[in-house]
Every structure is written in structure tokens, then in C-alpha cells.
């Protein structure tokens, strides 16, 4: 905001309501869309992509489990045919998580370890039920899986934390987008109006300010598009108050405030000349005293 030139046309024209600054609106809208898009991507991963990957990994884990069950059949005949299916998979998962449940037979231990991996994978995607763990013919299921996975790559395992992170990304991003949308609506509801003849600025809340009401125009945050209007003590409703105005969100407001400042205190050039004159007087006074 180094350029403090005044749009004379904006100053000379009555304006019942300052429109939103198009640049600010576009900037905020673009950011809001990007943030919303990240949230949508998180939702897609959490609700569609990651669960699909988890289901594929569970299928691969089932294949590995049935392979181990068939190998264990050599150590314990009949285990592949009669013990491959898992009834009450929730209870079985709890049992297998207990280290004391490990078998002393190496092939059966490998079979149970593969079963645990399979059931864990089903649990993550919400498929831990007999519908997905009981099959009539283990050999037919194994053959189907072998045909599928001979030409497929092994998917990355899915963990519950992966889903939590994606849901969290969605929630945070959509919350930020909602807050930004509400902020835009609140800014849009603020009313700045201008009467050119009397240079009267009406601010949100309905109070009016003229150049004669200004004690100071404080630009300490001018680089952030914020200006503070210090009101004289004899104002009817704003006596002694300091009003912060964001000059970036609404169009014309900056021009109106600069015009009021110029009317009340002179142009910037006049103020600079006065400052230089005062500085010169101070130097002359110092020289005289010396």
C-alpha cells in the first residue's frame, strides 16, 4: 500500500454500499476451493481408494494363508480341508493376538501367523465376518486366488491409522473452507457507504464519520491494509474511539479514507513539508543554543 494516490472518481461519487474488492474475493475463493479440494481428496482416499486397497490386500493375505494351510496339511492331515474356514472371526482374531496361542508345530504356527495377518486385514476394512471367512471348498478358493494373484502385484497393507489420517485431512480442510466461506459472508454483510458532498463515511454499525471528526489517521499497519481512525472526543457516538478499518476487503474504502485524511490534515506533500520545516526549526534551535 505504498501508493496512496486517490481515485477522484470514487471520491466524487455517492456510493450507498461499497462493493467487495474483486481481487480479495477471487484470492479468497481460490484458496477456499484449493482447501476444499484437498478435503475432497482426503474423503476419496478414506471412503473409496484406501478401503479398496485394503480389500485387495486382504485377498492377497487370504491367498498366503491358504497356501500355508495347505502346507500345514502335510504336518497335520485334514487341516487344510476342515480348518481353513474361520467361524467366529472376531473371537479368533482376539485369540491369535495372544502370544500364548502360538503352536509348537512349525507349519501350523506359520498357518496361524498367516491367518492373523488375514484377519487383521479384514478387520481394518470392516469385513471381519463369517461372510468373508467361511468357504465351502478351500481348494477352489485357493485356485481362484492363485489365478488372480499370479499376474497381480502385491498391494500395500492398509492400517487403521491410514484411514484416520485421511478422515482427519478431510475434516480439517472442510472446516477451514467453511470458516473461510462464513468469513466471506460476514465481510459481505459489512456496509461502508459514502456521501461525496460532505465526505461522510458510514461504517458497519451505522455510525458516520467526516473529516472534522478525525483526530488522527494511524497507518501503523498500512502494509497490511489496516488503518486506524482516531475519533475526536466530541463525536456523538464514537467519542475517543479508535476504529480499525480493513481497506482491502471492500472497494473504494481506501480512497475515501485518504480523501478524508487529506481534507482534515492536508495532502501528504503538505505533511512532509511541515515535517521538514519542523525538523529544520529544531536544528536551528539547537545551533542557537550551542
Taking the domains of the chain in order of start, what are their residue ranges?
8-18+191-289, 31-162
Q: Are 4 and 258 in contact (CB under 8 A)?
A: yes
Question: Which H or E element spans position 215?
Answer: strand 214-218
Q: Is 192 helix (H, G, I), strand (E, B) or coil?
A: coil
Angle separating helix axes 50-72 and 106-124, nearest 10 degrees: 160
pLDDT at 103: 84
pLDDT at 261: 95
pLDDT at 144: 95
Strands (E) located in 91-213: 193-195, 200-202, 208-209
d(CA 43, CA 145): 30
d(CA 35, CA 180): 10
Q: Are 214 and 62 in contact (CB under 8 A)?
A: no
Q: Give every residue of the chain whose pLDDT is below 70, as ranges.
A: 1-4, 267-290
The set of cell numbers assigned to 123 is: 478387520
For residue 1, with 0-12 CB atoms within 10 Å meaning exposed, 13-18 middle and 19 or more buried, which class applies? middle
Q: Is 202 helix (H, G, I), strand (E, B) or coil?
A: strand
pLDDT at 2: 47
Distance, CA of 281 to chain centre = 56
pLDDT at 277: 52
pLDDT at 6: 86
d(CA 96, CA 158): 19
The set of cell numbers assigned to 26 is: 477471487
Q: How far apart are the first and last CA of the chain?
A: 42
Angle separating helix axes 89-97 and 106-124, nearest 10 degrees: 120
C-alpha distances in Å from residue 64, one per residue of 60, 92, 247: 6, 18, 66
Find residue 209's DSSP bridge partners.
201
Amino acid at each position: 500500500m505504498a501508493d496512496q494516490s486517490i481515485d477522484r472518481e470514487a471520491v466524487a461519487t455517492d456510493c450507498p454500499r461499497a462493493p467487495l474488492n474483486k481481487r480479495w474475493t477471487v484470492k479468497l475463493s481460490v484458496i477456499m476451493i484449493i482447501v476444499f479440494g484437498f478435503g475432497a481428496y482426503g474423503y476419496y482416499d478414506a471412503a473409496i481408494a484406501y478401503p479398496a486397497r485394503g480389500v485387495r490386500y486382504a485377498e492377497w493375505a487370504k491367498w498366503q494363508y491358504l497356501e500355508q494351510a495347505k502346507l500345514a496339511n502335510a504336518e497335520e492331515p485334514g487341516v487344510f480341508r476342515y480348518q481353513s474356514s474361520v467361524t467366529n472371526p472376531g473371537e479368533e482374531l482376539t485369540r491369535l493376538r495372544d502370544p500364548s496361542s502360538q503352536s509348537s508345530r512349525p507349519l501350523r504356527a506359520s498357518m496361524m501367523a498367516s491367518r492373523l495377518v488375514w484377519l487383521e486385514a479384514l478387520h481394518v476394512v470392516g469385513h471381519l465376518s463369517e461372510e468373508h471367512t467361511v468357504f465351502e471348498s478351500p481348494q477352489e478358493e485357493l485356485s481362484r486366488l492363485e489365478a488372480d494373484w499370479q499376474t497381480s502385484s502385491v498391494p500395500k497393507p492398509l492400517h487403521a491409522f491410514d484411514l484416520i489420517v485421511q478422515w482427519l485431512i478431510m475434516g480439517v480442510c472442510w472446516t477451514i473452507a467453511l470458516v473461510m466461506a462464513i468469513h466471506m459472508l460476514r465481510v459481505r454483510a459489512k456496509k461502508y457507504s459514502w456521501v461525496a458532498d460532505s465526505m461522510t463515511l458510514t461504517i458497519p454499525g451505522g455510525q458516520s464519520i467526516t473529516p472534522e471528526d478525525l483526530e488522527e489517521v494511524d497507518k501503523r499497519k498500512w502494509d497490511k491494509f489496516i488503518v486506524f481512525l482516531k475519533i475526536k472526543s466530541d463525536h456523538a457516538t464514537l467519542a475517543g474511539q479508535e476504529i480499525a478499518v480493513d481497506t482491502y476487503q471492500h472497494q473504494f474504502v481506501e480512497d475515501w479514507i485518504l480523501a478524508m485524511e487529506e481534507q482534515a490534515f492536508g495532502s501528504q506533500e503538505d505533511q512532509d513539508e511541515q515535517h521538514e520545516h519542523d525538523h529544520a526549526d529544531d536544528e536551528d534551535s539547537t545551533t542557537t543554543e550551542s
